[in-house]
Amino acid sequence: MSVFQAAFIALFYTFARSAFNAGLGGYILSQPLVAGTIAGLLLGDPIAGAALGGFINLGTLALSNLRLRVGPDIALIGYVGVSVLLLAGVKADSPNVATIFAALAALGIVINFMRGVVNSVLAHWADYFAERGNANTVAFVNIVPTQAWLFLITFFPAFLILRIDVKTLLDITAAIPHWVQSALNLSQYLLAAMGIALSLRLIMHGSSIAYFILGWLGAQLFGLAPVTLLGASVAMIHAFLARKRMESVHETLITDLLPSDQSSGMNPDAPRLTSNDLRLSLLLWVFFHDAGLNYERAQNMGFATAMAPIAKRLYADVTERAACLRRHLTMFATEFSVGALLVGATAAMEERRAAGDVISDAEFVGAKTGLMAGLGVTGDALVVGAITALGIAVGVGLALQQTLLGPFLFIVFEAATVLGIAWASFTIGYRTFLNLEAWARANDWLRAMLFGAVRLGAFALGALVISFVPVHLPAGAVIQIDLARIPLQAALLDSVMPRMVPLAITIGLWWLLRYRNTNPMVLLGAIILVSVVACGLLRLIGWL
Look at residue 253 and tell me whether its pLDDT is greater than 50: no
User: Three-state SS across 408-441?
Assistant: HHHHHHHHHHHHHHHHHHHHHHHHHHHHHHHHHH
What is the longest distance spanned by two Cα atoms in the chain? 80
pLDDT band at 295 (very low <50, low <70, confident <90, very high): very high
Tell me which of 146 and 88 has the higher pLDDT.
146
The β-bridge relationship of strands 478-481 and 484-487 is antiparallel
- Confidence (pLDDT) at 171: 81
Q: Is residue 259 part of a domain?
A: no
Helices (H), 175-274: 178-203, 208-222, 224-249
Q: Is residue 389 part of a domain?
A: no
Q: Is residue 419 part of a domain?
A: no
CA distance 391 to 54: 11
User: Three-state SS across 296-345?
Assistant: CCECHHHHHHHHHHHHHHHCCCHHHHHHHHHHCCCCECCCHHHHHHHHHH
- Confidence (pLDDT) at 534: 94
Instruction: Report residue 329 CA to chain centroid gap.
Output: 13
- The CB density around residue 498, as the number of other CB atoms within 10 Å, is 15
Residues 6-17 have a mean pLDDT of 96
Look at residue 453 and tell me whether its pLDDT is greater than 90: no
Look at residue 68 and tell me whether its pLDDT is greater than 60: no
CA distance 162 to 83: 8
3-state secondary structure of 127: helix
- The CB density around residue 466, as the number of other CB atoms within 10 Å, is 21
- Confidence (pLDDT) at 4: 94
CA distance 434 to 442: 12
Look at residue 264 and tell me whether its pLDDT is greater than 70: no
Look at residue 351 and tell me whether its pLDDT is greater than 90: yes
Look at residue 260 and tell me whether its pLDDT is greater than 80: no
Report the alpha-carbon angle 428-433-434, nearest 5. Answer: 105
pLDDT in tens, 170-201: 787 778 888 988 998 899 899 999 999 999 99
First to last CA, the chain: 39
In sequence order, which residues have a C-beta less than 8 Å from that of residue 81 and are 6 or more positions away?
32, 56, 100, 101, 104
3-state secondary structure of 478: strand
Q: What is the DSSP letter of 36?
A: H
pLDDT in tens, 489-527: 888 888 888 889 999 999 999 999 999 999 998 999 999
Residues 243-263 have a mean pLDDT of 48
Q: Is residue 29 part of a domain?
A: yes
- Confidence (pLDDT) at 513: 92
CA distance 442 to 438: 6
Q: Is residue 327 part of a domain?
A: no
Tell me which of 240 and 313 has the higher pLDDT.
313
Q: Is residue 213 part of a domain?
A: no
CA atoms in the 13 A half-sphere facing the CB of 491: 11
CA distance 218 to 230: 8
Mean pLDDT, the chain, whole residue set: 87
Tell me which of 69 and 540 has the higher pLDDT.
540
Could you tell me the CA-to-CA distances from 176 to 110, 181, 543 in Å, in that order?
Answer: 10, 7, 18
- Count structural domains, the chain: 1
Q: Which phi and psi angles does 332 have, rounded to 5°?
A: -150, 130
Residues 471-481 have a mean pLDDT of 85
- The CB density around residue 416, as the number of other CB atoms within 10 Å, is 10
pLDDT band at 248 (very low <50, low <70, confident <90, very high): low
pLDDT in tens, 158-167: 999 999 877 7
- Confidence (pLDDT) at 66: 38
- Confidence (pLDDT) at 476: 84
- Confidence (pLDDT) at 58: 76
Tell me which of 320 and 442 has the higher pLDDT.
320
- Confidence (pLDDT) at 262: 41
Q: Is residue 374 part of a domain?
A: no
Say what the pTM is. Answer: 0.90
Report the alpha-carbon angle 295-300-306, nearest 5. Answer: 150
Residues 349-369 have a mean pLDDT of 89
Nearest to 364 by CA among 325, 335, 337: 325
Residue type, 489: Q
Domain that holds residue 129: 3-178
Residues 447-472 have a mean pLDDT of 89
In sequence order, which residues have a C-beta less than 8 Å from that of residue 182 and are 6 or more positions away?
474, 535, 538, 544
Over pLDDT 90: what percentage of the chain? 53
Residues 249-271 have a mean pLDDT of 51
Residue type, 380: D
Q: Is residue 231 part of a domain?
A: no
Q: Which phi and psi angles does 66 have, rounded to 5°?
A: -65, -10
